[in-house]
Amino acid sequence: MALLEIRNLRGGIKDQDIINGIDLTVDRGEVHAIMGPNGSGKSTLGKILAGHEEYEETGGTVRFQDKDLFELTPEERANEGMFLAFQYPVEIPGVSNAYFLRAAMNERLKYRGEPEISAGAFRRLLDKKMKQVDMDPELARRPVNEDFSGGEKKRNEIFHMAVLEPTLSILDETDSGLDIDAMRIVAHGINQQRTADNAMIVITHYQRLLDYVVPDYVHVMYQGRIVKSGRKELAFELEEKGYEWIREEVEAAG
């Protein structure tokens, strides 16, 4: 059984479908890149999978770890092992990053019927993960994303991912707004988390992140559908030819 199976998914916002029939299978150990021009529905797919209240599925099925995804609340999906790294991470004033993550961690443990993590053990885990993703320890003490720079916010998302160890991570334009150095650090953090047991869906507009986070598969979205899938070389092709090429292909076929 695949980790994630999306069959003919449709959905969107306020009675308007943005996703118009997507099929996608993701297995453990795989990294899938989803590319496409602005407005093609990439981020909407991420939000529907994570369970954003304003987005709704209107057709199709999604099975995650052999469970009907839409039977699960957003927090249940998270505790089952799904993770969404935000394109625009949200600030939570007054709540320290470390406190927030420990609360999240304990929710996860509770969900799985395991005892809560001790303060000491959590501290050690944080230290280890901060090193892994090259995170300034100061940022763990500060309120979640408050007054973080754009790069720090994105790095914090990867830090959250590293601590929570999800089985499926959806990274929504994690590279946007980053300069090349910041992107390298973020990419390094992401690569640190790749294992044979987990999987990632990397949503990106540009190919450049994929130089560092090398995907197993690349899918191109256009008008709410995956119109082209291939191996990592497809990303290079896109970079070279631009999205206009896809548009022409689709229209020629349509």
| Residues at the contact surface with other proteins, assessed by CB under 8 A | 50-54, 73-75, 78-79, 82-84, 86, 89-95, 100-101, 103-104, 107-108, 111, 143, 160, 164
**Residue number, 100 or 243, with CB nearest to other proteins:** 100
CB-based contact 133:127 (threshold 8 Å): no
Cβ count near 14 (within 10 Å): 7
**Residue number, 15 or 251, with CB nearest to other proteins:** 15
SS3 track for the chain: CCCEEEEEEEEEECCEEEEEEEEEEECCCCEEEEECCCCCCHHHHHHHHHCCCCEEEEEEEEEECCEEHHHCCHHHHHHHCEEEECCCCCCEEEEEHHHHHHHHHHHHHHHCCCCCCCHHHHHHHHHHHHHHCCCCHHHHHCEECCCCCHHHHHHHHHHHHHHHCCCEEEEECCCCCCCHHHHHHHHHHHHHCCCCCCEEEEECCCCHHHHHCCCCEEEEEECCEEEEEECCHHHHHHHHHCHHHHHHHHHHHC
**Residue number, 54 or 251, with CB nearest to other proteins:** 54
**Shortest Cβ 73–other proteins spacing (Å):** 7
**Shortest Cβ 146–other proteins spacing (Å):** 9
**Shortest Cβ 155–other proteins spacing (Å):** 16
**Residue number, 83 or 217, with CB nearest to other proteins:** 83
**Shortest Cβ 171–other proteins spacing (Å):** 12
Cβ count near 69 (within 10 Å): 23
**Shortest Cβ 151–other proteins spacing (Å):** 18
**Residue number, 107 or 216, with CB nearest to other proteins:** 107
**Shortest Cβ 196–other proteins spacing (Å):** 23
**Residue number, 110 or 128, with CB nearest to other proteins:** 110
**Residue number, 82 or 210, with CB nearest to other proteins:** 82
**Shortest Cβ 157–other proteins spacing (Å):** 10
CB-based contact 157:89 (threshold 8 Å): yes
